[in-house]
Structure 1
Amino acid sequence: MRLLTLAYPSASAFLTAFDEKGGTLLAVTKTEATLDEQLLVEIAFPKLPNRPLLRARCVEVVDGGLKLRIDDDDASTREFLVRFAKGEVRFEDTKHREHKRFPSALPVEYRLDGRAAETSVVEDLSAGGCFVRSAHPPDVGLAISVSITVPEEPPIALSGHVAWVRAGKGPGFGIEFEGPEGPDGKRLRQLIRKAIGTGDVDL
């Protein structure tokens, strides 16, 4: 999956580029893409507190750019961007992310407060935490240890706590890592740096 950065000169320019009814985003870019190619899109415009990353597919190649459809799995981020651009969400109402997060589909084994191990999938990953899919999210605050499977390498073992949960569509829970140090913390940071530096985000 390739990384595409879209910097809009203003919030209104972003809203003009986004077709709410059709659910598509016009990307003015020289980057070429094939129809139905999946891309990781980084959005930026003035006063936006973070640079969110969304998964999108190219649905049309147009003069001067691409028309993209944002993945339904990132609907909450898409809706946040639209509301923020419209002025319906203030900076004070948002939680600034210290670390850039990347969508992933890495298998994970986790243990909550010493309970039996459970398995799932990491939906997004950063140097500071991750989001794990779960039909029955645990309570916020519980201590947790995770072992994340990385292709062609030993699993990355980390510890932390449940920072937040998401119910409804796409349920799961967010983990905040507790100062990942040692060899595993170093490997996690190397993995993220590689994704940032190369645009290779098929984690």
Structure 2
Amino acid sequence: MSFGDPNNPYGQQQGGQPQQGGQPGYGYPQQPQQSQQGYGYPQAPAAPGGYGFPAGPTEMPGGVKAARVLLYVIAGLQAIGAIFVVLAAAAVNAAKNDSTMQEDVQFQQLADYSGGVLWAMAAFAVAWGVFAVVLAAKFGKGGNGLRITTIVFGVVTAILGIWPFVVIGLIHTILAILVVVFVAKSDGDAWFNRQQQH
């Protein structure tokens, strides 16, 4: 009994076993081949972000949380400042309507000017506070555009705190600088540039 040519890959091998690693022997079902790993290197698990990039942090870092809280504090301070400015505008308006002051032309001109400026400042304070709340509310899902907007907001707030509101604005300046630092740090960068889950 002959087993055929041992060098023939299509012939039956001795012992009736299918060939290992190449083509299966004639009449035998094909076996699924197992994937072979590289020479001695373990197979790395797939990265969660896809395309070989990590997805980024899944929980908001502490610095970003602190920046969010500081934005809410800035908004609260804006509201308190707006209340004081409205009270000052109302006081100027009341003084303008006082019978003893109505004859003083210079005071009336100053009251008209300062009253308008105070109302504009109150409106700006309210709008700036609302802007801070909107920024803070979007920290959970915002991307890099929100990060850049928050940094610009912090820089402008810090500058406005220095001039023209030096004494009152010092707290705003400190808070705004902290917001910029916390958002601009590497963990803030990783949070705002993470892959968004939809």
Higher relative contact order (CA 8 A, sep 6+): 2
Do the two structures share a fold, i.e. TM-score over 0.5? no
Larger-Rg structure: 2
Structure with the higher strand share, 1 or 2? 1
Tell me the TM-score normalised to structure 1 length.
0.20
Tell me the TM-score normalised to structure 2 length.
0.20
Structure with the higher helix share, 1 or 2? 2
